[in-house]
Amino acid sequence: MSENKRGLGKGLGALISGGESTSAATTLSTKSTPDELVYLEVSPSDISPNPRQPRSVFDEEAMSELVHSIHEIGLLQPVVVRRSDGATPFELVAGERRWRACQQAGLESMPVIIRPTTDDALLRDALLENLHRAQLNPLEEAAAYQQLLADFGGTQEELATRLGRSRPQVANTLRLLKLPPAVQRKVASGVISAGHAKALLSLDDAAEMDVLADRIVAEGLSVRTTEEIVLLRRDSGPKRKRGGTRGPSPEMIDAALAVETRLGDRLDTKVSISGARTAKARGKLVIDFADLDDLLRILDTLDPT
């Protein structure tokens, strides 16, 4: 087995059959029925591009970022291939950017999902059906969501409906992929939790996220303590620079966090409070919504009459 970074494809491998890594020679001897999906790791050189690929131009800057990401944390999303009788054992179905980036990154093996039919719904339905049963870490789950949306279309609302989850839950999980690479590695390895990661996403600066993530690990900070630190930085940082204004009192931090948590759980979305520094100070309550349908859902929750 290659010692190169394998990324998080292993999580998706848990969703379907054939989850062990294998060489191309072993791959060719693997038998699968027309309705079976197989997860393998193969050499990028064993894959040929899809001759019907509609995209002919690949943005160089975006490709460089993807290559860097693969160097840092490995390939998050397996590509989809089918068996081929041509010059290579496999032919791409979806994921040419990822395949090209793996070649540029010099990976000896990469995760693939073999789809033995041309029916896109087969893979989509199999992944959706098994997401409930697989033990994925939060970042693997986010990568699986993104793969489904990118490779097979549909909206976050449709994906949420198929999974039996709310649209904000899917959106918040996908937001984990916006974390800096170093923080993503901590989430993937379980060093920090999804709760920590969501708190870090409230910061605007990637460098701040990295620093606070390191502090979470070094000091064993709880999610609640992390949220308090983020709230202090978010609300009082800019004001301290301009006029030395003190941050929120401990009582206001506790009250704000309690309201954010309770109301966020009730409305199934992100809720944030800012501005209030004392018990008598005015502040601002912000409730996030994904689209008009989500806004109307929130309204129905607040006022069911």
pLDDT at 78 exceeding the cut of 70: yes
Residue-level pLDDT at 6: 45
Active site residues: 96
* Number of domains, the chain: 1
Does residue 212 surpass a pLDDT of 90?
Answer: yes
The Cα 72–Cα 182 span in angstroms is 8
pLDDT recorded at residue 14: 55
Does the pLDDT of residue 223 top 80, yes or no? yes
CATH number at residue 91: 3.90.1530.10
Cα(222)–Cα(193) distance, rounded to whole angstroms?
Answer: 9
- Report pLDDT digits (tens) over 79-125: 888 888 888 888 887 778 888 999 998 888 999 988 765 545 445 55
Query: Is 16 among the domain residues?
Result: yes
Q: Is residue 289 part of a domain?
A: no
Contact 113, 148 (CB under 8 A): no
Mean pLDDT score, 5-33 = 45
From CA 200, how far away is CA 16, in angstroms rounded? 32
Would residue 208 count as lying in a domain?
Answer: no
pLDDT tens column, 173-203: 888 988 998 899 898 888 899 889 988 988 8
Query: How far is the C-alpha of 65 from the C-alpha of 44, rounded, in Å?
Result: 19
If you average pLDDT over every residue of the chain, what do you get?
Answer: 75
Who contacts 91 (Cβ-Cβ below 8 Å, separation ≥6)? 47, 48, 49, 50, 51, 81, 82, 83, 84
Which residue range is the domain that position 125 belongs to?
Answer: 9-175
**Is residue 42 predicted with pLDDT exceeding 80?**
yes
Q: What is the pLDDT of residue 247?
A: 60
89 within domain boundaries? yes
**257 in a domain, yes or no?**
no
